[in-house]
Amino acid sequence: MAGGGMTRSARAVPVLMYHHISTSPGMITVSPDHFAAQMAYLANAGYTTIGSMQLAAYLAGEPLPKKSVMLTFDDGYLDNWVHAHPVLQAHGLTALCFLVTSWIGEGRAPARARSGAALPPLLNHRDGEMAIENGESDRAILRWSEIDAMREAGTFEFHSHTHSHVRWDQMSADADDKCARLARDLIDSRTTLKARLGAASDHLCCPQGYYDDDYRRVAIQAGFRHFYTCEAGSNYPGNDDNAVRSITRLEVRDRPTSWLASRLWVHTRPAISRTYLKIKR
């Protein structure tokens, strides 16, 4: 490819990590106002939001638009339907959502923001965790009907965040037991996604972005090739072994657009991104 062509491709792709977009303040929560402003910034600044297939192709050497970014949401909270989906739809932006497949409920989709109807109550992070522990995940987590509507609208694609969200490395006394339980967990997740969505991808986000050597081996055996971490950084075609890729992500804070703009400026430039992270550490 000619030099001029090369400069048009992204040199690095930042992958942003969100959890809650909610009016209920708490941990790992971005307010709907900040989120709307952040998305308006991406759209106005000419960013392209990419999907899982595009990221995979990019990491394998294919070009991407210069200003490319990926949006990810972990855990599949109800507020993603209420407050994130309508904003993405308004701007024509897309995101990935990592689902804990045993938490997802049945029933009709409640109202979402910008629909004019009364919105469902949204639990803050701590109360949501307690609801899930008490077997009431439906109060905090997406339903299949919402997932279907988001897929139809093209705002979200959905991938595995395991079936149980259990950290098997902390729950099992020995490595064999840990691996067996993790394998079961990943298979259950894939089976559920296949049954409900028609397919399960090879993109995996493990709880807390935790991967040790056992995790990687078991996940590869289960059919996963792209591992989303909670490690900060940017992503570019590199020398990951074989076709297995670790994807670094930037946790988005509940901050105004200027904060996001500066992070994207840094992390769309590989050398600056690496230097910045070195200094930060």
Nearer to Zn ion, 74 or 185 (CB): 74
- Summarize as ranges the residues that interact with Zn ion (CB under 5 A): 74-75, 207
**Nearest approach, Cβ of 207 to Zn ion (angstroms)?**
5
**Nearest approach, Cβ of 135 to Zn ion (angstroms)?**
18
**Nearest approach, Cβ of 90 to Zn ion (angstroms)?**
27
Nearer to Zn ion, 54 or 137 (CB): 137
**Cβ(205)–Cβ(215) below 8 Å:** no
**Cβ(102)–Cβ(188) below 8 Å:** yes
**Nearest approach, Cβ of 239 to Zn ion (angstroms)?**
29
Rounded to 5°, the CA angle 143-101-141 comes to: 40
Nearer to Zn ion, 64 or 190 (CB): 190
Nearer to Zn ion, 207 or 233 (CB): 207
Nearer to Zn ion, 58 or 74 (CB): 74
Half-sphere exposure of 249 (CA within 13 A, CB side): 26
Phi then psi dihedrals of residue 245, to 5 deg: -125, 135
**Nearest approach, Cβ of 53 to Zn ion (angstroms)?**
23
Backbone φ/ψ region at 67: left (φ over 0), alpha (ψ -120 to 50), beta: beta
Element containing residue 157 per DSSP (H, E): strand 156-160
Nearer to Zn ion, 75 or 146 (CB): 75
**Nearest approach, Cβ of 250 to Zn ion (angstroms)?**
16
Element containing residue 97 per DSSP (H, E): strand 95-99
Nearer to Zn ion, 113 or 159 (CB): 159
With b for 16 or more beta-carbon neighbours within 10 A and e for fewer, the 110-119 pattern comes to bebbeeeeee
**Nearest approach, Cβ of 159 to Zn ion (angstroms)?**
12
Dihedral over alpha carbons 256, 34, 247, 8 (to 10 degrees) = -70
Euclidean distance between CA atoms 281 and 275, whole angstroms: 10
Closest CA to 222 of 208, 232, 231, 211: 211
Half-sphere exposure of 93 (CA within 13 A, CB side): 28
**Nearest approach, Cβ of 217 to Zn ion (angstroms)?**
21
Nearer to Zn ion, 75 or 185 (CB): 75
Euclidean distance between CA atoms 258 and 134, whole angstroms: 39
